[in-house]
Amino acid sequence: MNNTPWPTSQTFWQDKRVVVTGGAGFLGSFVVNTLRQRGAAEIIIPRSASYNLVDGDAVRQLLADARPDLVIHLAARVGGIGANREHPADFFYDNLMMGVQLLHESYRQGVAKFVAVGTVCSYPKFAPIPFREDDIWNGYPEETNAPYGLAKKMMLVQSQTYREQYGYNSIFLLPVNLYGPGDNFDPASSHVIPALIKKCVEAKAAGAATIEAWGDGSPTREFLYVEDAAEGIVLAAERYNQSDPVNIGSSYEISIKDLTETITRLTGFNGQIVWDTTKPNGQPRRKLDVSRAQERFGFVSHTSFEEGLRRTVAWYERA
């Protein structure tokens, strides 16, 4: 438990130069907006055309150009089960090299604090429910996204060892599956919520009788509205200064079957759901213990799942 009085947000951010890798992306755009609302002095969003973060020279150049007080590392190569199965080596290498080099060079160049944002995919496939941070090493991740999950988890090892050896202030956060306006709706790489919204909206418009969903609907997932996730990350950046991993989630668990039926209702698709059981289910259950985030930096999610889904559907229908 952190008993130190927390600074007000404006006081903390008013003189801070912040690099947000992935700041133009889905989660990143909400983090950047939250930082602006907090009054951050300057926010630098590196573009891949200028800084290929897989390349060490580009990482060093970014930090030399930006001279940040704080780095929030959100950039990642991400995708759903299909994309992870097709490109496991790319997902491993790109995510590992980005994270390891950014954290190392941030330490070397004197960046005061590094916020590493990992993934719920780092947890063991059969971790006890709810997932507690202390269980993160008790087994191998779900196979379809293990290369991605393990690559991101190396930032936890790095954060802890750099703090132990160098006294470097870095933190490691584990957000659960995110959703919301601006999500990735590309069927080749999207996650389950945007993929289902897109299928339902298009099927309704076409008058189709069915949509197809992967697996058998039995797995469960926890989802966090992206605006809440951004709030959690920024609060941790302000208030948390330890290398123990921290879950960022809503603690609301729903089966893929119930999720699919909810999305058909909210989109107005009245056809049949056809389950393709030749496709993988992925991890059987996901639900986080979120008590550490509340205890250590006061984060609690506020957006109900149904309200978040309504906003996401409405955004997609307007887009």
Is 153 flagged in the annotation as binding? no
Would you say 33 and 233 are in contact if contact means Cβ atoms under 8 Å apart?
no
Measured in whole angstroms, how far is the alpha carbon of residue 168 from the centre of its chain? 23
Is 174 flagged in the annotation as binding? no
Is 25 flagged in the annotation as binding? yes
Would you say 113 and 69 are in contact if contact means Cβ atoms under 8 Å apart?
yes
Known catalytic membership, residue 148:
yes
Concatenating the DSSP letter of every residue in 144-175 gives: GGHHHHHHHHHHHHHHHHHHHHH---EEEEEE
Nearest Cα residue to 101 out of 158, 157, 161: 158
Is 77 flagged in the annotation as binding? no
Among 148, 168, 240, 252, the one annotated catalytic: 148
Is 299 flagged in the annotation as binding? no
Is 22 flagged in the annotation as binding? yes
Strand extents, DSSP E, the chain: 17-21, 42-44, 70-73, 113-117, 170-175, 177-179, 210-214, 220-225, 246-248, 253-255, 272-276
Is 298 flagged in the annotation as binding? no
Is 199 flagged in the annotation as binding? yes
Is 150 flagged in the annotation as binding? no
Is 87 flagged in the annotation as binding? no
Amino acid letter at 86?
E
**Whole-number Cα distances in Å, 144 to 129, 265, 277:** 20, 30, 16
Measured in whole angstroms, how far is the alpha carbon of residue 156 from the centre of its chain? 15
Is 16 flagged in the annotation as binding? no
Is 79 flagged in the annotation as binding? no
Which tokens is 243 given?
């290398």
Is 221 flagged in the annotation as binding? yes
| Positions at the binding site | 22-28, 152, 175-178, 191, 199, 214, 221
| Positions at the binding site for NADP(+) | 22-28, 152, 175-178, 191
Q: Which residues are catalytic?
A: 148
| Positions at the binding site for substrate | 199, 214, 221
